[in-house]
């Protein structure tokens, strides 16, 4: 219940400020007994509201988790101040401490809550169509896969679904961060909480609410906020040891000051000042403030990091490897040529599309669409097995059947050397053969389109300092070269006809000398995604396996977001560096002042808390990162 603690902390801070006010008024404005009583009451209020809750929390942490809370340093300093009669200074300390803690909490809460806005967009109810054609309004949470739901113009899609009837443009900005509407037709996927702008859609629910894309996004970001980055873990580790060192150091300093000053009161006062000056609050919060803000900004831009670690590693990545189909290309392929060896194109396509109906591959979807366009009714195929980067096998009414590329044909001992295939084979397009055992029945060529943002994204990555880019595809060399050329890739950056294990091996080799990110969408990319320093999966359209294996999900179709995310990670790294340099510098100045120049306690506190707040605000600048404005800005 973060809201509750924030509100409580505002009340406590206000009480601390009031307490300090009374202490000051009692000392300077009022005389005699009334003055003394006001001072005492004010100091008690300031200490009680500003110190007791934080002290209690720190003691509890020490007792139950055996961790030394940095806040404890402040409390010890305030007690020391009171002990030497510097009550006002102790109250100033607690007031500034309490104020800056509240500000920090608010700021960090802002970063954390950026994602919650998403949940607010989920529709409460849906219009479910029953078998007899009647429509009833039901709670969106009760929808199950298979339900048919009507989505009227202007309404939000209640759960992830596939369109069964109707056309419409959808505003998917909640998922992808992109406000350009996407037009969809029957067979198209629609996502929970996106807005249907026009046309009445009839959709079949594919995922219940707990498994929806939005639910997954929320889960991912929540996990990300819990999974700590290495530098965060370092600052935790450091914070612990440092706090102990400061406590011991202050006791030693107390002895030293006493040695020189021969006066316990001033020695204790100066030791307390040193304690505050040396506290590492700013250093410890430097990293999480920046990382949390960057994660939220990225999520709003449709780039989901599974943890701060992925964000930090991405900043160091200098080689990007891309899968082709479905990643650099849209994956929405079209059939461009058909050669049926027995001359019966329809029967051939029917057999081919029927096997492919069981595959998740982009090529399969193209064939299914082609069959649908021709009004073919697909027949069932049994014992289906997908063979990654090769094709698919199964058994229909006429016996065993397979579909796939030359690799597949070789496995079946079938020859693809056939004059009538020449034209297809010489085109720079993907060729799919259909066969029964060693006998080939025909071939089709399939072409998919480059995403219009791919070339720009690669150029932006290079401009952002990426050393080399590689394309790794299971497709034919001819296709790979055509696509690579359109993307201005060097010939040695193009790797074709790769099996999943080839991608894995190449990624491993590249990882030896550089930090590598792999971007992919398919089942065939999962191993490479897991092996790369940073695995990035195409979110909304990618396969579930790829999403599981990856560290980052790219929900936007806009590849330029990837380049933007790379820049964001670099900016985060630089803000963390700035923060650390500033925090350490400020601490050194304060410590020098406290040891050598009789720095007054309130000034040490002001410098220390001020520095902490500045560091948090600097991290918060990342929340405004342009990543989620790419594209939107021009619209
Ligand atoms: P990429 O690495 O570019 O994403 P894949 O490794 O998924 O490509 O596929 C490589 C090749 O394997 C495809 O170009 C195609 O020739 C063949 N292939 C894979 N799955 C199928 C399928 N279901 N039907 C036909 N061919 C397939
Ligand atoms: Mg792919």
pLDDT in tens, 271-317: 888 887 887 777 777 887 888 888 888 877 778 887 788 888 999 99
Angle at 298 between CA 294 and CA 300, to 5 degrees: 120
CA distance 396 to 563: 46
pLDDT attached to residue 227: 57
pLDDT attached to residue 315: 92
Q: Please tell me which residue, 65 or 497, carries the higher pLDDT value.
A: 497
Closest to 82 (Cα-Cα) out of 44, 27, 41, 52 = 44
Closest to 293 (Cα-Cα) out of 119, 113, 116, 121 = 113
Number of helices (H), then strands (E), belonging to the chain: the values are: 22, 22
Q: Which ligand is nearest to the Cα of residue 546, counting in written order?
A: 2
- What values do phi and psi take at 625, rounded to 5? -55, 140
Clarify whether 323 is annotated catalytic: yes
Q: Are 614 and 158 in contact (CB under 8 A)?
A: no
Q: Which ligand is nearest to the Cα of residue 473, counting in written order?
A: 1
Q: Please tell me which residue, 293 or 445, carries the higher pLDDT value.
A: 445
Which residue among the candidates 160, 323, 448, 525 is catalytic per the annotation? 323
Residues in the chain: 635
Quote the ligand 1 centre to 22 CA distance (angstroms).
76
pLDDT attached to residue 524: 79
Quote the ligand 1 centre to 330 CA distance (angstroms).
14
pLDDT attached to residue 113: 66
- Domain 123-157+160-206 matches domain 310-328+451-569 at the CATH topology level: no
Burial class (CB in 10 A: 0-12, 13-18, 19+), 63: exposed
Give yes or no for residue 635 having a pLDDT over 50: no
- Residue boundaries of the structural domains of the chain: 6-114+221-293+570-633, 123-157+160-206, 310-328+451-569, 329-449
DSSP letter for 156, please: B
CA distance 623 to 289: 10
- Listing DSSP states for 507-560 in one string gives HHHHHHHS-EEEEE-SGGGHHHHHHSSEEEEETTTS-HHHHHH-SEEE-SS-TH
pLDDT attached to residue 550: 83
pLDDT attached to residue 1: 38
Q: 310-328+451-569 has which fold?
A: Rossmann fold (3.40.50)
Quote the ligand 1 centre to 388 CA distance (angstroms).
7
pLDDT cut 90: percent of the chain above it: 16
Helices 601-620 and 264-278, axial angle in degrees (round to 10): 10
The top-level CATH class assigned to 123-157+160-206 is mainly beta
pLDDT attached to residue 541: 61
Confidence of residue 634 (pLDDT cuts 50, 70, 90): very low
Burial class (CB in 10 A: 0-12, 13-18, 19+), 61: middle
Q: 329-449 has which fold?
A: Calcium-transporting ATPase, cytoplasmic domain N (3.40.1110)
Q: How many CB atoms lie within 10 A of CB 531?
A: 19
Identify the H or E element spanning 91.
helix 87-113
Classified as helix, coil or strand, 489 is coil
Q: Indicate which residue's Cα is closest to atom 21 of ligand 1.
A: 391
Q: Indicate which residue's Cα is closest to atom 23 of ligand 1.
A: 391
Q: Please tell me which residue, 400 or 553, carries the higher pLDDT value.
A: 400
pLDDT tens, residue by residue, 576-628: 999 989 988 988 988 888 888 888 877 888 888 888 888 888 988 888 777 75
Pocket of ligand 1 (CB under 6 A): 323-326, 356, 359, 361, 363-364, 389-392, 403-405, 430, 432, 473-475, 522, 524
Q: Are 404 and 432 in contact (CB under 8 A)?
A: yes
Q: Please tell me which residue, 140 or 461, carries the higher pLDDT value.
A: 461
Sort strands 439-450 and 468-472 into parallel, antiparallel or unpaired: unpaired
Q: Is this prediction's pTM over 0.85?
A: no
Q: Indicate which residue's Cα is closest to atom 12 of ligand 1.
A: 389
CA distance 261 to 413: 95
pLDDT attached to residue 321: 94
pLDDT attached to residue 120: 60
């Amino acid at each position: 219940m973060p809201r509750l603690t924030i509100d409580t902390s505002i009340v406590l801070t206000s009480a601390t400020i009031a307490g300090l006010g009374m202490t000051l008024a009692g000392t300077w404005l009022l005389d005699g007994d009334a003055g003394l009583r006001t001072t005492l009451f004010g100091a008690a209020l300031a200490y009680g509201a500003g110190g007791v809750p934080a002290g209690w929390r720190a003691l509890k942490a020490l007792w139950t988790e055996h961790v030394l809370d940095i806040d404890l340093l402040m409390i010890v300093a305030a007690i020391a101040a009171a002990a030497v009669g510097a009550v006002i200074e102790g109250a100033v300390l607690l007031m500034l401490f309490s104020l800056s803690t509240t500000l920090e909490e608010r700021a960090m809460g802002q970063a954390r809550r950026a994602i919650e806005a998403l949940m607010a967009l989920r529709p409460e109810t849906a219009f479910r169509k029953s078998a007899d054609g009647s429509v009833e309004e039901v709670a969106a949470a009760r929808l199950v896969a298979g339900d048919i739901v009507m989505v009227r113009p202007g309404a939000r899609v209640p759960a992830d679904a596939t369109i069964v009837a109707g056309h419409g443009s959808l505003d998917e900005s909640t998922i992808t961060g992109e406000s350009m509407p996407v037009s969809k037709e029957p067979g198209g996927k629609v996502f929970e909480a996106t807005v249907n702008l026009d046309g009445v859609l009839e959709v079949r629910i594919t995922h219940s609410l707990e498994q929806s894309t939005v639910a997954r996004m929320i889960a991912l970001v929540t996990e990300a906020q819990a999974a700590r980055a290495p530098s965060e873990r370092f600052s935790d580790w450091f914070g612990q040891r440092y706090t102990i060192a400061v406590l011991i150091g202050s006791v030693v300093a107390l002895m030293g000051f006493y040695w020189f000053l021969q006066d316990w009161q001033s020695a204790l006062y100066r030791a307390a000042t040193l304690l505050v000056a040396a506290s590492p609050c700013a250093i410890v919060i430097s990293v999480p403030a920046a990382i949390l803000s960057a994660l939220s900004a990225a999520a709003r831009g449709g780039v989901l990091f599974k943890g701060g670690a992925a964000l930090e590693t991405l900043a160091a990545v200098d080689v990007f490897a891309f899968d082709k189909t479905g990643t650099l290309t849209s994956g929405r392929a079209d059939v461009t040529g058909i050669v049926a060896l027995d001359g019966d194109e329809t029967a051939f396509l029917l057999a081919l599309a029927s096997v492919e109906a069981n595959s998740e591959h982009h090529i399969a979807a193209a064939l299914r669409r082609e069959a649908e366009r021709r009004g073919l009714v697909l027949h069932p195929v049994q014992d289906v097995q997908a063979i990654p980067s090769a094709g698919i096998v199964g058994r229909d009414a006429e016996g065993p059947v397979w579909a796939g590329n030359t690799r597949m044909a070789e496995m079946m001992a079938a020859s693809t050397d056939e004059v009538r295939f020449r034209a297809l084979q010489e085109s720079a397009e993907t060729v799919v053969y259909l066969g029964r055992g060693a006998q080939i029945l025909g071939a089709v060529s399939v072409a998919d389109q480059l995403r219009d943002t791919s070339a720009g994204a690669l150029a932006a990555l290079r401009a952002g300092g990426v050393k080399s880019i590689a394309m790794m595809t299971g497709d034919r060399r001819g296709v790979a070269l055509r696509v690579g050329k359109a993307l201005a890739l060097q010939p040695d950056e193009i790797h074709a006809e790769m099996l999943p294990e080839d991608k894995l091996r190449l990624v491993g080799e590249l990882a030896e000398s550089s930090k590598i990110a792999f971007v992919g969408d398919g089942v065939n990319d999962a191993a490479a995604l897991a092996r790369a320093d940073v695995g990035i999966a195409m979110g909304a359209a990618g396969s579930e396996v790829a999403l599981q294996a990856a560290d980052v999900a790219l929900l936007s179709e806009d590849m330029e977001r990837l380049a933007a995310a790379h820049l964001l990670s670099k900016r985060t790294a630089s803000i963390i560096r700035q923060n650390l340099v500033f925090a350490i510098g400020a601490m050194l100045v304060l410590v020098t002042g406290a040891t050598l120049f009789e720095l007054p306690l309130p000034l040490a506190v002001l410098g220390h808390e001020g520095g902490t707040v500045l560091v948090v605000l600097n991290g918060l600048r990342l929340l405004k990162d342009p990543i989620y404005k790419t594209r939107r800005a021009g619209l």
